Structure 1
Amino acid sequence: MKVEPTIAVEELEGKSPDIKNSRESNKLLSVIDQRFEEVLIVAGFLTFIILINLQVINRYVLPFVDIANITTWTEEISRYLFIFVSFLGASLAIRKGESIQVNFLLDRMSAGLRNSINIANTIFMVYFSYIMIRYGYDLITFQLETHQSSPALAMPMAVPYSAVPIGFTLILIRLVQKFIKDTKGIHLKDGVLGAVIAMVIIAPAILMPDHKITLALFGYFILFILIGMPIAFSLGVSTLATVLATDAIPIDFFPQTAFTSIDNFPIMAIPFFIAAGIIMGGGNIIRKLLKLSDELIGYLPGGLALVAIATSMFFSAISGSGPATVAAIGTILIPAMIKQGYSASFSTAIVATSGSIGVIIPPSNPMVIYGVVSQESISKLFIAGILPGILTGFALMIVTYFISKKKGWRGENTKFDMKRMLSAAWDAKLALLVPVIILGGIYGGYMTPTEAAAVAAAYGLIVGFFIYKDLNLKSLYQCLSKAGVTSAIIILLIVMASIFGRLITLERVAETVAQFVLSLSDNKIVILLLLNAFLLLVGLVMEALAAIVIVTPILLPMALAIGVDPIHFGLIMIFNLAIGFVTPPVGVNLFVAASTAKVKIEEVIKGNSVLLVTMLVVLALVTYIPDISLWLVGFMK
C-alpha cells in the first residue's frame, strides 16, 4: 500500500492563510475567555482605589477645592463598580474552582458517586443562576419603566442593577464550562445518577404541599452543605427550594436583594483590606517586620517561634486575614525554624496558631462582616479586638517560651542588642506606619474604615512600586486579580445569606432559638458556655466568614436577651471562629501552614495541642471578662 507523505502543520499553515488565521483567532478567543474577568476586576480595583483616595485627599489636602461634590459621586461610582467587580470575581472563582465548602463527607465517597453528586450540585447552581438572570432582567425593566435614577449622578438605576443579571450570566457560563470540563471521561451511569439525585432532592419541594418553612429551609441547607455544594450557593438554593415549596416570598425578591445587600459602602472595606494584605504580604514589608521581631525577642529561648507570633501580631494589623498571615510568615519562617532544630510539627503549628490572631487584631475581615450583618459599628469592633488580640499573642508567647526552653530551642542571637534593634525598627518604619495609618485614621476621626482600607491599599502600591521596588505591573495584576477572587467569594456569601436571612426573619427563627435556650437555663454563665460550645462546633465544620453571616442573626438576639453587649458578643463569636482556623476538619490555617512546610496535617495537629488549650483559656477570659473587649471602646463614647 502506498503511503502519502505527511505534511507538516507549519507548512500547511504557510500554504493556507485561512487555517493560520483560524488558529490565531481561536488562540485570541481562548486568551479573552481566560482573562476576561481578570482584566475587568483589575481595572475596577484600580479605579475605586483611586476614587476613594481622591475622596480623602480632597477632604484634607485640598479642602478648599470642591471638585463637583467629589465625596458624593466618587462614593456612588465606587459602590456600583464594586458590585460589578464582585460578581465578576464570583464568576472567576468558579472558573478557578475556588469556593468555601464543606468536603469532609464528599471526600469519603467513591469517585463515581462524587462525580454524580457534583453533577447534581451543578444542576441546582445553574438553575439558581437562571432564576437570577430571568428575574434580574425583570428588575431592570421595572427600573426603566419607573425612570429611577441614582442620587449623585442621576444615572438610570437600570445600569447598576444590571450587575445582577450580567454577573449571573457569567456565573452560569462558567458553571457550564466547568461542568463540561469536569464531566469529560466520566461514565454515563454517573451522569444519569447525578440527574436522578437532583430530581430526588428537589421532589419534596415540588410535589409535597404545606411544608413548614423553617424545616424546609434548614433541611435543604444542611443537605446541600453535606453534599459539598459551595456554602454561598447552599444558602441561595435552599432558599429557592423553600420558596418553591411554600411561596413564602416572591421570587423576584432574590435579584433585588442580591443588589441591595452589597450596595453598602462599609462592605467595600473587605476587598481593600484583602488587596492591601496581598500586596504587602509577598514583598519586603513582611521581611522587615520579621527582622524587627527577631531583634526584639529572637535571642530568647524559642526565638524564631516567638518571632512568628510577634510578626503575626504586626502583620495582622495590615492583612485582616488569618490564612494570609500564615502564608506570608510561614513561607519564610517554617523552613528557618526547622533548620535551627525545631520540630517540623511545632514549627508549623506555631505559625498556623499565631496566624489566627489575624482575625482578632484589627483590621479584621470577620469584624467587618459581623459589623455589616449585626448593624454594629465596625470602628468599635476594631478597637474592641486590640486587647484580646494582644492578650492572645502574649499568652502564646509565654507557652512557647517554656516549651522551647524545655526542648532547648534557641535562636542564633544570644543577647539583645539595642543598636541592632533600633536599626531594624528604622528599616521597618514603612511597614510599621501601616497600622498607624489604618487605626490612627479611623480612631482619629479622619477616615471611615473603608477609606482607611483604600488608603492602605494605595500605600502598599506606592511603597511596592517606588520605594521597595518589589512590585511590577505583572505582580500588581496578579495581586489585584487574587484579591478580586478572594473578596468576591466573601461578597457572594453575603448576597446569599441576605436572601436566606429574609426567611429566617419571616419565621422568627432567632426568637424561637433564644426562647429554647433560655428555657434550659437563665444563668448567664451557663448560656455563654453553651454559646461558646456551639460556636466551637460550628468552627470545626464551617469557614469563619460563612459562619458569621449565617449564625449572627440567630444568636445575637439571644446574647442581647441575657445582657451581653453586641460588640462584646462579636468578639466572642470571632474568637471562637478563630480557633476554628486551627481545628480540623476545616482548619484553613492548618492546611495553609502544612502545605507551605510540606508536613502532614496529622503532625501539625499533634504539635498544636498545647497551643490550642492556650487559645481556649484566653477565650474563657474574653467571654467572662467583658472589659477585655470593652475597656478601650469606652473611650470612644
Structure 2
Amino acid sequence: MLAETRPAEPYAALPARRPFLRTVTDSLLRTVQVLAALALAADLLVVAAAVLWRFLFGDSLEWADEVARMLLILVAFLGGAAAVAHGQHVGIRIVRDSVPEGGRRLMEAGGLLVELGVALALAACAVSYAGTAATQVTPFGLPQNLFIYPLVMGGACMAVFIGARLAACRLADIALAALALAALAGAVWLWSAALPGLAPSPLALLLLGFALALGSGIPIAFALSAGALVFLAADGNIDPAVFAQQASSGIDNFVLLAIPFFVLTGLAMEVNGMSVRLIELLRRAVGERRGGLGIVTILAMVLFSGISGSKLADVTAVGTVTIPAMRRSGQDPCEGVALLAASAVMAETIPPCINLIILGYVANLSIGGLFAAGILPAALMAAALILGVVVLSARTRPVPVERSAHSLRHLLWSSAVSLGVIVIIFGGYRSGFATATEIGAFAVVYALAVGALCFRELDWRTAGALFVRSATLAGMILFVVAASQTIAFSLTIDQVPHALAEAMIAVSHGGGAWIFLIVSILLLIVMGAALEGAPALIIFGPLLLPVAQTFGIAPLHYGIVLIIAMGLGLFAPPLGLGLYTSCAVGGVSLEGTVRPIAKYLLLLFGCLVLIAFVPEITMALPRSLGFVK
C-alpha cells in the first residue's frame, strides 16, 4: 500500500502578489475534483448496475466493462492531478530536509522542474498516442481516444498545479536549478558523443535518473516516470507515444477498480462514524488492563484492514483515535506510533488489502486465493504483536477506559451493522457471486446507506466531499501504478527479467528454495523501503514469481511472502515511507519512533521467516476453499 511523507508545499502557498494565478488554480482544482468525483460515482453506478442486471436477468451488460475502465482512467489521472495540487504525492525528503536552507530551496525548485517536465511529457506523449489511435474503436464501438484523453487532461492539469507551486519559488533558485539540470543533461550528451563505446546504457541512465530524482525528494510517481522518460530518450528507437500507452495500459483493467471502491468504503466508514464506534467497542471489550490501548490498536487495524484495503486510510482512521488517547493517559506517543506502524505491516495480507489486488493483477494470480492465503499469516503476526505488547507492558500501569455518551447496547448494535461490510466482502468471495471489483462496489453502497439511514451522519454535502477525497486518494495510488508500469516496460525492453532470473538462480545455487526465499525477502525489504509498496510489487512480482515456481514454491505462498517483506521495508526507518505517515498521524518525530519500532519489526521479521519456511500457514485456507488443488 502506498503511504505519504511530509507533503510538499501545495499551490495554495502562492504569494499574495499573484492573485490571478491563485484564482486560476483554485478554479481549475475545483473543476478537476468535481470531474474526478463524478467519474468515481459514475463508475460505482455502472458496476452496481452490471451486477444487478446479471443477477436479475442472467445476462451481462457487455458495454459496462469498457465504460468502467474508461472512467477508471479518468479517476486515475484527474485524481492524481488533484493530489498534485494538494501536495499529497509521496516522496522521500530525508536528503532535502537535511541540507541547509539555500540548498533545500534549490532542490525544491529543481524537483518541481522535473515534475513539470514529467507532467508536460505525459500530456505531449498522450497527444501523440491519440494521433495514432484517432481512427481506432474499442470492441463495442467506443472511440479508443476516450481512454487517452484523460492522460492529456491529467498531464496538463498537473503541469498547471506544479507551475503554480514553482511560481512560489525564488527566481534565482529556479534559474540555478534549471542550469544544474541542463548541465547534467549536457554532460551525459557530451559523454555519449565523445566516447560512444563507454557511454552509459539506457538502463544505467534510467537507474541514475530515478535514484537522483527519488533522493532529491521528488514524489515517487514522478521519479519513476522520470526514469522511464530518460530510458526512452536514451534509447532513441522507441516512439514517445509508448510512454503514454504504457501509463494508460497499466491501469486499464477492470480488476483495478477495486482500489477506488475499497478506498471509498474505508473513508465512508470514517466519515459516517462507523470507525469510531468500532474502536470504542474494542476499547471497552479489552478493558482496563496493561497494554490495553496497544491491543486495541492491533485489533482495530485487523478490522479496518479488512474493510478499506488502503493502509493510508487504515492508519489515519485508527491512529487519530488511539494516539490521542495514549497522550491523554500519559503514555509515550512514540511507542504508540511504532505499534501503529507495525500493525500496518501485519495488516498487509488482510483482505481486501490493495497490494493483494495489485499483485494478483500484475502476476496473474487468483485474487480470491491471495485473500485466503493472507488470513492465517496476518493472524500469526497479530498474535505475536499482542503477545509482545502484553510482555512489554508488564510493568506499566493500566489505562482507564474512556467512555463516550454511547451506551454499550448502542455500540454493539452499531458495530454489528458496521461489520456488515466485512460480511459483504467475504461472503461475496465465498459464494462466488461477484468479483473483487463488484464486491467493492456493493461494500461502498452498504457503507453509504448505513451512514445515511442508520447513523444519520452522512448528508449530500458530506457525501460529495467524501467522493472528492476518495477520488484524490485513489488517483494518487493509481498514478503510482501507471508510472510503475512505464518502468516495468522499460526493464522488459532491456531484458532485465531474464537477467534477474538467472542471477537469482545463480545466487540460490546449492541452497535451493531456502536461499532463494531469504534473498527474495531481503530484496523486497530494501525495495519496499526505496520504492514503496505498489511499485515494488509491480516491478518485482512478475519478475520473481516465475523463478519461485522453478524452485517448487507455490505462487500464492510466495506472493504473501513478498507482500509481508515489502511491508517491513515500507514501515522500516529511515526510508520507509509508511513510517512517515504514521509519524504524521501521531504528531511525533521519526527519530523518536526508531527505537520503539525496532523491537516490533524484529518480531514481525521472525514471523515472516516462519511463514516463508512453513508454507502450510499460507496454503491451508486456499486449499480448503478450493483455490488450489
Could you tell me how far apart the structure 2 residues matched to 1:27 and 1:248 are?
41
The answer to whether 1:525 aligns with 2:514 is yes
Contact 1:323 1:355 in 2 (8 A): no
Match of 2:12 in 1: none
Any residues of structure 2 matched to 1:37-116 within 5 Å, and which?
37-60=32-55, 62-63=56-57, 71-116=61-106
Match of 1:617 in 2: 606
Match of 1:372 in 2: 361
The one-letter amino acid of 1:79's match is: R
State which of 284, 304, 308 in structure 2 corresponds to 1:315. Answer: 304
Change (3 A) 1:588 1:205: closer
Match of 1:499 in 2: 486
Contact 2:373 2:618 in 1 (8 A): yes
Could you tell me how far apart the structure 2 residues matched to 1:251 and 1:517 are?
32
Shift of 1:362: 0.5
Q: Bigger shift: 340-349 or 35-44?
A: 340-349
Could you tell me how far apart the structure 2 residues matched to 1:569 and 1:204 are?
43
Q: Normalising to structure 2: TM-score of the pair?
A: 0.88
Could you tell me how far apart the structure 1 residues matched to 2:253 and 2:207 are?
27
Could you tell me how far apart the structure 2 residues matched to 1:273 and 1:319 are?
5
The one-letter amino acid of 1:128's match is: V
Contact 1:101 1:230 in 2 (8 A): yes
Shift of 1:27: 9.5
Contact 2:129 2:242 in 1 (8 A): no
Change (3 A) 1:353 1:283: farther
Contact 2:358 2:537 in 1 (8 A): yes
State which of 132, 155, 173 in structure 1 corresponds to 2:142. Answer: 155
Shift of 1:588: 4.4
Listed one character per residue, the Cα deviations across residues 451-483 of structure 1 (whole Å, up to 9, x for unaligned) are 111111121111112211122233222222222
Listed one character per residue, the Cα deviations across residues 13-53 of structure 1 (whole Å, up to 9, x for unaligned) are xxxxxxxxxxx999986652331111111111111112211
Could you tell me how far apart the structure 2 residues matched to 1:227 and 1:81 are?
34
Could you tell me how far apart the structure 2 residues matched to 1:579 and 1:387 are?
18
Change (3 A) 1:422 1:357: farther
The answer to whether 1:454 aligns with 2:441 is yes
Shift of 1:385: 1.0
State which of 242, 253, 260 in structure 2 corresponds to 1:271. Answer: 260
Could you tell me how far apart the structure 1 residues matched to 2:118 and 2:529 are?
28
Match of 2:29 in 1: 34
Could you tell me how far apart the structure 2 residues matched to 1:84 and 1:579 are?
32
Q: Bigger shift: 420-429 or 275-284?
A: 420-429
Listed one character per residue, the Cα deviations across residues 127-161 of structure 1 (whole Å, up to 9, x for unaligned) are 333333334223323333xx322223x22222332
State which of 127, 135, 159 in structure 2 corresponds to 1:137. Answer: 127
The one-letter amino acid of 2:355's match is: P
Unaligned runs of 5+ in 1: 1-23, 414-419
Could you tell me how far apart the structure 2 residues matched to 1:591 and 1:31 are?
28
Shift of 1:262: 1.6
Shift of 1:566: 2.3
The answer to whether 1:287 aligns with 2:276 is yes
Could you tell me how far apart the structure 2 residues matched to 1:49 and 1:263 are?
16
Change (3 A) 1:505 1:40: same
Shift of 1:447: 0.9
SS at match of 2:393: helix
Change (3 A) 1:230 1:569: same
Q: Which of the pair has more CA radius of gyration?
A: 1
Could you tell me how far apart the structure 2 residues matched to 1:287 and 1:486 are?
21
Could you tell me how far apart the structure 2 residues matched to 1:449 and 1:249 are?
36
Could you tell me how far apart the structure 2 residues matched to 1:31 and 1:94 are?
13
Shift of 1:303: 2.4
- Percent identical pairs in the alignment equals 26
Could you tell me how far apart the structure 1 residues matched to 2:243 and 2:336 are?
47
Q: What is the aligned length?
A: 597
The answer to whether 1:404 aligns with 2:393 is yes
Change (3 A) 1:342 1:276: same
The answer to whether 1:335 aligns with 2:318 is no
Unaligned runs of 5+ in 2: 1-18
SS at match of 1:407: coil
Listed one character per residue, the Cα deviations across residues 338-394 of structure 1 (whole Å, up to 9, x for unaligned) are 434543333333233223333221000111121222122222111111111111111
Q: Normalising to structure 1: TM-score of the pair?
A: 0.87
Shift of 1:632: 1.1
Change (3 A) 1:128 1:613: closer
Match of 1:534 in 2: 523
Any residues of structure 2 matched to 1:224-623 within 5 Å, and which?
224-409=213-398, 412=401, 424-522=411-509, 523=511, 524-623=513-612
SS at match of 1:105: helix
Could you tell me how far apart the structure 1 residues matched to 2:186 and 2:339 are?
49
Change (3 A) 1:596 1:96: closer
Contact 1:102 1:228 in 2 (8 A): yes
Contact 2:263 2:474 in 1 (8 A): yes
